[in-house]
Amino acid sequence: MKHLVWFRNDLRVGDNPALAHACAQPGQVEAVYLAAPEQWRRHGLGDNKLDWIRLNLAALQQRLARLGIPLHIAVAERFEDAADCMVSLMQQRGMSHLYLNAEPGYDEAQRDRQVQQAVQQCGLYWHRFSERNLLEPDSLFNGQGQPYRVFTPFARKARTLLPTVSEPIVSPDPYPLSAPVEPEAQWPLGVSNRFSWQPGEEAAWTRLQDFIEQGVETYHQCRDFPAQSGTSGLSPYLALGIISPVQVYHALSRAGAGEGQQCWLNELLWREFYRYLMHHFPKLSRDQAMYPDKEPIWHNNSAWFERWCQGKTGFALVDAGMRQLNQTGWMHNRTRMLCASFLVKDLHIDWRWGERYFMQQLLDGDFASNNGGWQWAAGCGADAAPYFRHFSPSRQAERFDAQGDYQRRFLPELGDGELHYPNEMIDHKAQSQRFTQMVKEMTHVDES
Ligand code: FAD
């Protein structure tokens, strides 16, 4: 019997139910990753992101090779071609069983249903396992039996369920019968490595261990200052599933329960919350706001958008954040909030434009967290920042980058002297007031 494991955003060997189940069966195991370069180009995925995927696939391939499992890279034109691709690969290689772990998102669920149908119609077998999140979305409801829409009660309930989180699934033993397989996968796009995260599971564990030993205790004090390395930097690993939240949670639980640890756990729960919302409110993955009546009529201005993308708004902390994103493929959470708020509440551009741009550039681009973050900033999401609360770029800079170290790091034109950064592209106060007015007008239109 031959088994095929389909890797998606779960590029790890440890805590991987699909892989563990396939390896527990008698017979040979092979693995596949489906690349869709045409589609990625159309969606504008940046080089940083493509490179990150490529490097992590190479690392996974080496780990799998040690287990005697070859990893194939199948190339599909489009997302919708997955069914044909899987069936023809299985038939060509005489494989009878397909194993995979679930992913969040409406399109992903549709695609999986199509693949399931095609596989089963050909008399092949299909085994789908739950994603390794901390909580099953169907295990938490409010007192009225409805899904939570507010984070605090969700998190309170979630904390009562955390003791039931299962232990990580151990990695399968090395395949005893065959010699290690030489890496063979061919990557379909030529890109180069330009960032500092090391790929692979070992690197993810090193980062987690370092943070737990050196960073988590002071996390609550340091996490808001973008010039410091006060956060874990684990998001690029979590987003591609190189490490699972279950693995992270168990490592954290062994590290004590101080203020830093509790605060960090809260952030992991935000990640769970956004996935939970995606599950219970499928409209969120269809470009819709949680509360559409809180959206104004947007004034999308391409030239303004371009300046924002390039980090040329004339507001130093906004520009530093955007340039950090463009240069490194990552942005600190404090500046993500500010840059998102600026696009929406100062430039009055649809949050979906910003959401798309972040997904193209971020190594940790995660549909649920990104969508949640953008709707939060735009004021139309679950438990969002109210429409009348605005981030002031200068006030944020005074509070969170008072010495200007972060701004100087990404804006070489500032030099070493006094922070002087001219040419603000808009009047922040006037644009903020206008935004509040726009939302009020919208609410008025809806009511009439
Ligand atoms: P840490 O502070 O060390 O937190 C640990 C982990 O908890 C993170 O790796 C992440 O998985 C999770 N986490 C932390 N904060 C949040 C949060 N606010 N929402 C959801 N999960 C959180 N995070 C992504 O992983 N992918 C995205 O695409 C993404 N897009 C965002 C877009 C906007 C507009 C905003 C405001 C936030 C977004 N975030 C996103 C959340 C957050 O900014 C990043 O998770 C965080 O900066 C990652 O850095 P870290 O790993 O050092 O986080």
235 assigned ligand-binding residue: yes
pLDDT at 180: 46
CATH number, domain of 297, equals: 1.10.579.10
CA of 333 to the centre of ligand 1 (A): 6
Mutate to test the pocket of ligand 1, among 209, 217, 238, 267 (most ligand atoms within 8 A of CB): 267
pLDDT at 194: 53
CA of 291 to the centre of ligand 1 (A): 22
- 58 C-beta neighbours (distance < 10 Å), count: 15
- Tell me if 190 is assigned to some domain: no
**270 catalytic, yes or no?**
yes
ipTM, interface predicted TM-score of the complex: 0.99
178 assigned ligand-binding residue: no
pLDDT at 350: 98
**333 catalytic, yes or no?**
yes
Residues 296 and 436 in one domain: yes
- Tell me if 29 is assigned to some domain: yes
The domain in which residue 301 lies consists of 292-442
| pLDDT band at residue 76 using 50, 70 and 90 as cut-offs | confident
**351 catalytic, yes or no?**
yes
Residues 318 and 265 in one domain: no
Residues 209 and 311 in one domain: no
Residues 351 and 250 in one domain: no
> How far is CA 11 from each of CA 108, 147, 204, 324, rounded to the nearest angstrom?
17, 30, 11, 26
Per-residue model confidence as pLDDT tens digits over 271-309: 999 999 999 999 999 999 999 999 999 999 999 999 999
**267 catalytic, yes or no?**
yes
Mutate to test the pocket of ligand 1, among 369, 376, 383 (most ligand atoms within 8 A of CB): 369
Return mean pLDDT, the chain.
91
Residues 123 and 145 in one domain: no
- Tell me if 178 is assigned to some domain: no
Mean local confidence (pLDDT), 309-336: 97
**Degrees, nearest 5: CA angle 198-199-200:** 125
- Tell me if 327 is assigned to some domain: yes
Residues 310 and 264 in one domain: no
End-to-end CA distance of the chain: give it in Å, rounded: 65
Mean local confidence (pLDDT), 139-166: 96
Residue with the smallest CA separation from ligand 1 atom 46 is 333
Residues 296 and 438 in one domain: yes
Per-residue model confidence as pLDDT tens digits over 367-402: 999 999 999 999 999 988 888 889 999 999 999 999
Report the range of poorest mean pLDDT among 3-7, 139-143, 187-191, 333-337.
187-191
> 191, 189, 188, 187: which is closest to 47 by C-alpha?
191
Q: In what side-by-side order are the strands of the sheet with 125-129?
A: 71-75, 28-35, 2-7, 97-101, 125-129
> 321, 326, 303: which is closest to 425 by C-alpha?
303
Mean local confidence (pLDDT), 395-414: 95
CATH number, domain of 32, equals: 3.40.50.620
Please give the tally of structural domains in the chain. 3
Residues 254 and 361 in one domain: no
| pLDDT band at residue 188 using 50, 70 and 90 as cut-offs | low
**Encoding tokens for residue 181?**
């397989």
Q: Which of 106, 132, 158 is the last residue of a domain?
A: 132
256 assigned ligand-binding residue: no
Residues 394 and 406 in one domain: yes
Predicted confidence (pLDDT) at residue 183 exceeds the cutoff of 80? no
273 assigned ligand-binding residue: yes
Predicted confidence (pLDDT) at residue 172 exceeds the cutoff of 60? yes
- Cβ contact 132:15 at 8 Å: yes
Predicted confidence (pLDDT) at residue 97 exceeds the cutoff of 80? yes
- Cβ contact 380:403 at 8 Å: no
Residue with the smallest CA separation from ligand 1 atom 37 is 373
CATH number, domain of 137, equals: 1.25.40.80
In the chain, % of residues over pLDDT 90: 81
pLDDT at 446: 43
Predicted confidence (pLDDT) at residue 122 exceeds the cutoff of 70? yes
Predicted confidence (pLDDT) at residue 177 exceeds the cutoff of 60? no
Per-residue model confidence as pLDDT tens digits over 219-229: 999 999 999 99
Question: From CA 425, how far away is CA 336, in angstroms rounded?
Answer: 19
Atom number, ligand 1, closest to the C-alpha of residue 331? 47
| pLDDT band at residue 422 using 50, 70 and 90 as cut-offs | confident
Of 351, 353, 355, 370, which residue is the catalytic one?
351
Residue with the smallest CA separation from ligand 1 atom 3 is 232
Instruction: Give one DSSP letter per residue of 73-89, joined into a string.
Output: EEE-SSGGGHHHHHHHH
- Tell me if 245 is assigned to some domain: yes
- Which has more pLDDT, 79 or 290? 290
Question: From CA 318, how far away is CA 342, in angstroms rounded?
Answer: 8
Per-residue model confidence as pLDDT tens digits over 238-269: 999 999 999 999 999 999 999 999 999 999 99
pLDDT at 189: 56
**353 catalytic, yes or no?**
no
Q: Please tell me the total number of residues recorded for the chain in this structure.
A: 448
Atom number, ligand 1, closest to the C-alpha of residue 340? 34
Residues 266 and 343 in one domain: no
Residues 327 and 394 in one domain: yes
- Tell me if 353 is assigned to some domain: yes
Residues 250 and 339 in one domain: no
Per-residue model confidence as pLDDT tens digits over 80-96: 789 999 999 999 999 99
pLDDT at 187: 61
| pLDDT band at residue 70 using 50, 70 and 90 as cut-offs | very high
- Tell me if 176 is assigned to some domain: no
**Encoding tokens for residue 390?**
């605005």
Is 374 near ligand 1, meaning CB less than 6 Å away? yes
Question: From CA 283, how far away is CA 392, in angstroms rounded?
Answer: 31
- Tell me if 243 is assigned to some domain: yes
Predicted confidence (pLDDT) at residue 176 exceeds the cutoff of 50? no
